Amino acid sequence: MSVETPSLERAQEMLQKYYGYPDFREGQKHIVSSLLKHQDTLGIMPTGGGKSICYQIPALMLPGLTLVVSPLISLMKDQVDALTAMGIAAAYINSTLSGKEVNERIRAAKRGELKLLYVAPERLELDWFRDEMAQLEISCVAVDEAHCVSQWGHDFRTSYLSVAPFVEGLPERPILAAFTATATPEVTEDMVRLLRLQEPEVFVTGLGRDNLAMSVLRGENKRDFVMSYAEAHNSQPGIIYAATRKDVDDLYQRLSSVGLAAGRYHAGMSDEERAASQEAFLYDDIRVMVATNAFGMGIDKSNVRYVIHYNMPKNMEAYVQEAGRAGRDGEPSQCILLFSPQDIITQKFLIEQNPQETDRKSNEYRKLQQMIDYCYTTRCLRSAMLDYFGESHEDKPCGICSSCTDDRELVDMTVDAQKIFSCVHRMRERFGVSLVAAVLKGSKNKKVLQYGFDSLSTYGTMANRTEKEISEIINVLASEGYLALSEGQYPVLRLQPLAAEVLKGQRQVLQRTARPAAAQTGGRSSRSRDVSPSAVNETVFEQLRLIRRELAGKEHVPSYIIFNDATLREMSVVCPQTEDEMLNIKGVGEVKFRKYGRPFLDFFQNQSDDAYAGGYDE
């Protein structure tokens, strides 16, 4: 089917006018084209990949209203604030509004005064709301965080199952658009089936973002690492995720005690405390947020420079979504996962505490093992992530993750691997990592003796290593496909075909030695932005941030809604002197320039050449 070029050209004009970008990203272009052809569409794009533009631009061009199904109040508010700042008529309906306010917004929609209306999925279950929506001209229903419809997704939410019946109950069926940042092939099938998408175009685009340097660090003193990293990057916004409230509170107190502008966020705090902490982070009043995974979904803060996971997340979907909150403006950013074996115990405890059906619990254990494999792999981390989500990609290393930048010499581990595989075989593939490591170490613990494993020929053959070291090697071998771990709370090691090749001497096993404490935290990608870091005038950049902050305070919106950091950095390089020069900067659209641009242009016009080209004399 041919693309309606005029419509796409018009969409491009609106992108420039409202958003200040001259062209769509490749993935966005395909999705916008599909929706303009009135085609049901499923878009799987990374966090920060610009999903919202994919339905907001068509909303401006289609007749009537686009109804956006959004899971969180904070997400709705951020989106509507950003749209309003650009001069686009949008509103939300949620539980923070009075009945009178809800009715006013529905009346505005009926009068044709809104182009986008955001609602929670639970509202679609209400008879009165369905009756009101049936009286509107709804041309598109956009479903954000669409993975929530699948029980195999990481955030299953039963109210998402009401989307399809709601759409089919409207007088005329609108276009249905679904979006998510993370979906395995299994979840993708569920989204198509449960949302009842009709012959949808499915687009999976660029989950591996060039500006994110992914790192997994094992064996670190986590608390010391976080403290030193946060102090070294105290001028940069960052998020530190921890698995428990106790760890959040401890890290928050420690960071605050050394004078860092820190905040915290977890379910044990009151609604008011959480809201105040979140707002302070959005407005740049605090630099580092320490939080459980309750924080972040729908927080559209574009200038987060690092995300540190203090503990391993429960699965790859959660990890990619949380890590993806770094660098949404395209600037180089760090995603650091601090892993220790204790994390596995914590996550298994959380799975067991959560009452759920056996099948779902089994699925949670399977996903957890895949997350563990990621933490132990020596492969390129970006490639490992893309393989997990089934995205096709070039078979080449990213060059900036902790695996790719690990320049330690490879060591031949074939003999140790043969000892491990032989031991697993002699233990009849019925036991887990810890007991196999104990046998190889030559331990005299109760279980080893009880099963008579001290009589095996492999008993004590790796006595020169600690059980922890042996367990590390076993886990790396499992992550590389030599061994498999069964699902469940107590996974059992099983040999894979690759292990048989090693035992027969047909394959060599190479591994790197244990990572030193002063591990690398990833490199930077020069491809992630057009503006060279060395070209940015940091003095001018900071002055522009002050102007932005003052404007944000007057408008009562977060700073990034005015202009994001990438836009300010480009300004500091270009030093625009005219309106046309300002409008050529990415992120400065016509509407935003009229609303916010003048103070920035005045700043440059009032500076001497020396002031913005070479800094100031002391």
pLDDT at 297: 58
Regarding the domain delimited by 5-204, which CATH topology (the fold level of the hierarchy) does it fall under? Rossmann fold (3.40.50)
- Segments making up each domain of the chain, as ranges: 5-204, 212-388, 410-512, 530-613
CATH, range 530-613? 1.10.150.80
**Do 212-388 and 5-204 have the same topology in CATH?**
yes
What mean pLDDT is reported for the chain? 87
> What integer is the mean pLDDT of 473-488?
87
> What integer is the mean pLDDT of 406-423?
90
For the chain, how long is the longest CA-to-CA vector?
A: 85
Q: pLDDT tens-digit profile of 368-390? A: 989 999 998 888 999 999 888 88
Q: Is the pLDDT of residue 513 over 90?
A: no
Question: Which percentage of the chain shows pLDDT scores above 90?
Answer: 51
Q: Is the pLDDT of residue 5 over 80?
A: no
With 0-12 CB in 10 A as exposed, 13-18 as middle and 19+ as buried, what is 261?
Answer: middle
Q: pLDDT tens-digit profile of 521-534? A: 443 333 333 455 55
Closest to 522 measured CA to CA, from 411, 398, 391? 398
Q: pLDDT tens-digit profile of 132-142? A: 999 999 999 99
Higher-confidence residue of 461 and 318: namely 461
pLDDT at 186: 86
Beta strands in 145-255 (DSSP E): 175-180, 201-204, 212-218, 238-241
Rounded Cα distance between 134 and 259, Å, is: 55
Rounded Cα distance between 147 and 151, Å, is: 9
Q: pLDDT tens-digit profile of 75-128? A: 788 889 889 988 899 999 998 889 999 999 999 999 999 999 999 999 999 999
DSSP state of 595: I
If you write DSSP's letter for every residue of 363-409 in order, what string do you get? Answer: HHHHHHHHHHHHHH--S-HHHHHHHHTT----SS--SSSTTTT--PP
> What integer is the mean pLDDT of 211-224?
90
**Using an 8 Å Cβ cutoff, are 434 and 467 in contact?**
yes
Residue count of the chain: 618
Q: Is the pLDDT of residue 20 over 70?
A: yes
Amino acid of residue 93: I
Please, which pLDDT band fits residue 535 given cuts at 50, 70 and 90?
low
DSSP state of 207: -
Rounded Cα distance between 135 and 137, Å, is: 7
Higher-confidence residue of 438 and 331: namely 438
pLDDT at 154: 66
Alpha-carbon distances of 576 from 20, 400, 531, 535, 606, rounded to whole Å: 15, 33, 15, 15, 11
With 0-12 CB in 10 A as exposed, 13-18 as middle and 19+ as buried, what is 357?
Answer: exposed
Q: pLDDT tens-digit profile of 259-312? A: 999 999 998 999 889 888 988 898 888 999 999 987 765 566 888 999 999 999
Q: Which CATH class is domain 212-388?
A: alpha beta
CATH, range 410-512? 1.10.10.10
pLDDT at 185: 84
pLDDT at 514: 54
If you write DSSP's letter for every residue of 311-342 in order, what string do you get? Answer: S--SSHHHHHHHHTTS-TTS--EEEEEEE-HH
306-309: strand order across its sheet: 212-218, 333-339, 306-309, 238-241, 288-291, 262-265
pLDDT at 407: 78
**Using an 8 Å Cβ cutoff, are 329 and 565 in contact?**
yes
Residue 425 makes CB contacts below 8 A (sequence gap 6+) with 495, 503
Residue 154 makes CB contacts below 8 A (sequence gap 6+) with 147, 182, 314, 315, 317, 318, 321, 367
Q: What is the dihedral of CA 388, 394, 397, 400, to 10 degrees?
A: -80
Q: Is the pLDDT of residue 538 over 70?
A: yes
Higher-confidence residue of 74 and 518: namely 74
